[in-house]
Chain A
Amino acid sequence: MNSLKERLIKYAFTAMGYLSLLLLFGIMAVLFIESRPAVKELNILNFLFGPQWRPARTPAEYGILPLIAGSLSVSFGAISICVPLGAGAALYLNELAGETQRRVLKPVIEILAGIPSIIFGFFGLVAVAPFLQETFNLPVGVCLFTASIVLGIMTIPAITTICEDALSFVPRSFKEASFAMGANRWQTLTKVTIPAAGSGICTAIILGIGRLMGETMSVLMVAGGAAVIPKSIFSPVRPMTAAIAAEMGEAARGSMHYSALFLIGLVLFLITLALNILSEHISKKYRLKLGQGR
């Protein structure tokens, strides 16, 4: 048991485990250090709720409200597309599709989840944007609506997979009990299966929002890039990630702009961290809830 080889293997894995922890703290440290000048110089409330993001002007204005509004509006736009479609697909897979269909569809959906986001961005740019521009007679095709559609479609597979897992987690015995009482399929689905999978589905949605907030490549391509609070679904927007990606190259190292971009990164990090903790919390409760019913 205690041979040298086994000890070495154990140390190696321990080291790898701690390395990832170290990296995480390293990244957080960089975020904190680099954003310090901005935290010191700019009032944090003005930073978070300032309505103007004009880092290139003199005097520069660093209010990220338009960027936060951009991130939130794109995320919620996308969520309102991918949740009904993704959850619907999961319900279909779990409840209606036959064995053969499920065997084909599940892997296909999983492959879809692996498509690089730039491909979706590309699709948004050449297919969705021109189409919307023509149909709605817009000045520009890249806008909040386009970004919502592209990100929404992009997130369907992830939502479907997590929702499907949540549904298949519901013990068969619950459904049997329901059917044995004379409930039909629809009643069983809406009153037993979905409520029992509910917290799993919530987790899927929250994780989805987190992922959407962090998505960069495709929003950079299709959101339009205007750092203004959107007035309609056809306004171009600049989500936080897009601002960082677009501006980091031009911001001089050590400048206030540079530090402010790090502070945006920190804010984004804290938002996604909070979402992750929330979903972890819900799914833990969910496991407790179903634990005994199996």
Chain B
Amino acid sequence: MEMDPAAITTPKIKTENLNFFYGGFHALKNINLNVHEMQVTALIGPSGCGKSTLIRLFNRMSDMTPKTRAEGKIMFEGGNIFDAKTDLVKLRRNIGMVFQKPNPFPKTIFQNISYGPEIQGCKDKDFIYHRVEESLKKAALWDDVKTRLHSSALGMSGGQQQRLCIARALAVEPKVILFDEPCASLDPISTAKIEELILELKKNYTILIVTHNMQQASRVSDYTAFMYLGNLIEFGQTDRVFTVPKDKKTEEYLSGVFG
């Protein structure tokens, strides 16, 4: 039996009648979505349905794309993130992001992680070192790299690079982490490691993950949102959405009729 999701956990982020436009193109249509605290929410749907567009709104990375416009609200910690008085720096520290392709900086492993604390103005070397170690441990990377912290991050494998990017995001102590298809460029073993990590991180962070891969959604998420052509078609607990989808489109998508 499905329980009302809102009754179980509180929403950490809440979109209210959210619309988004690329120039004249209406990419997101009236989205009302709750992202629950300390839970993993998966965003699924066919390519081009607006998953990346939506996830990039939560930390306002969408600001970087010119000629775009958002309508509606995204409520986070009591405020609408589109408010003029929103502190973007603070918002992005609270809501971290891991991208589709691993994108470590062309710096050392250590410098990649210390970047976050450093741009926050932290100068205490011990503190930074401690934070680097802690972040790498949380990302299950410490044992792999502790002997080569000062070698280039670009010498790591793809899966390690992606975990480094996760560690980098963790180093600024976010509350929410957004993942946009984090395993899209990884092999199955690395993918399994990232999934394991996400399940571990769930204990302390609110997670929103875009994925192309339905099995992945069913493995890692508590809630699933299915999107189609810019609409949020269905939202609910993952078990329920996957076993008894309410919408015909969801059912078709999950059974592989289109994708």
Q: Which residues of A come within 8 Å of B, CB atoms?
A: 99, 171, 173-174, 176-184, 187, 191-192, 195-196, 289-293
Contact of A289 among B59, B97, B106, B115 (CB under 8 A): B106
CA A221 – CA B247 in complex, angstroms?
81
Chain B residue at minimal CB-CB distance from A290: B106
How far is B115's CA from A291's CA once the two chains are assembled, in angstroms?
21
Distance in Å from the Cβ of A191 to the closest Cβ of chain B? 7
CB <8 Å contact, B119 and A183: yes
Q: Which residues does chain B contribute within 8 Å of A173, judged by CB atoms?
A: 99, 101, 103
Interface stretch, picked from B38-46, B86-94, B134-142, B202-210, is B86-94
Interface members, chain B 35-68 (any A CB < 8 Å)? 59, 61, 64, 66
B168 in contact (CB, < 8 A): yes
> Roughly how many angstroms separate A291 CA and B155 CA in the complex, as a whole number?
11
Distance in angstroms from B148 CB to nearest chain A CB is 17
Q: Is B154 an interface residue (CB 8 A)?
A: yes
CB distance from B255 to the nearest CB of A (A): 35
Report yes or no: A180 in contact with B106, Cβ–Cβ below 8 A: no
Q: What are 28 A-B residue pairs whose CB atoms fall within 8 Å in the complex?
A: A171-B103, A173-B99, A173-B101, A174-B106, A177-B99, A177-B104, A179-B64, A180-B61, A180-B92, A180-B97, A180-B169, A181-B115, A181-B119, A181-B169, A182-B88, A182-B89, A182-B90, A182-B91, A182-B93, A183-B115, A183-B119, A184-B89, A187-B119, A191-B115, A191-B119, A195-B107, A292-B154, A293-B104
Q: Is the CB of B119 within 8 A of A174?
A: no
B108 to chain A, nearest CB (A): 12
B165 at the interface (CB under 8 A from A): yes
A128 to chain B, nearest CB (A): 41
Cβ of B116 under 8 Å from chain A: yes
Q: Nearest-CB distance from B158 to chain A (Å)?
A: 9
- Which residues of chain B come closer than 8 Å to A171, judged between CB atoms? 103
Chain B residues with CB under 8 A of A179: 61, 64, 92
Are B92 and A181 within 8 A (Cβ)? yes
Complexed CA–CA distance, A196 and B162 (Å): 19
A177:B106 contact, CB within 8 angstroms: no
A179 to B99, CA, bound (A): 12
Given A181-B92, A181-B168, A182-B93: A176 in contact with B103 (beta carbons within 8 A): yes
Q: Name A's interface SS.
A: helix
Q: How many residues of B contact A (CB 8 A)?
A: 30
B103 interface neighbour in A177, A187, A289, Cβ under 8 Å: A177
Contact flag A182-B172 (CB < 8 Å), given A177-B99, A292-B154: yes
User: Does B243 touch A at the CB level, under 8 Å?
Assistant: no
Closest to B107 in A: A195
- How distant is the Cα of A183 from the Cα of B172 in the complex, in angstroms? 11
Name the A residues within 8 Å of B215 (CB-CB). Answer: none
Q: A177-B104, A180-B92, A182-B119 are in contact. List 4 more A-B contacts (CB 8 A).
A: A173-B101, A180-B99, A181-B116, A293-B106
State A195–B107 Cα separation when bound (angstroms): 9
Flag if B96 contacts A180 (CB, 8 Å): yes
Q: Does B147 count as interface, using CB distance less than 8 angstroms?
A: no
- Tell me which residues across on chain A come within 8 A of B119, comparing CB atoms: 178, 181-183, 187, 191
Q: Are A180 and B59 in contact (CB under 8 A)?
A: yes
List the A residue with the shortest CB-CB distance to B91. Answer: A182
Residues of chain B from 152 to 205 with CB closer than 8 A to chain A in the complex: 152, 154, 165, 168-169, 172
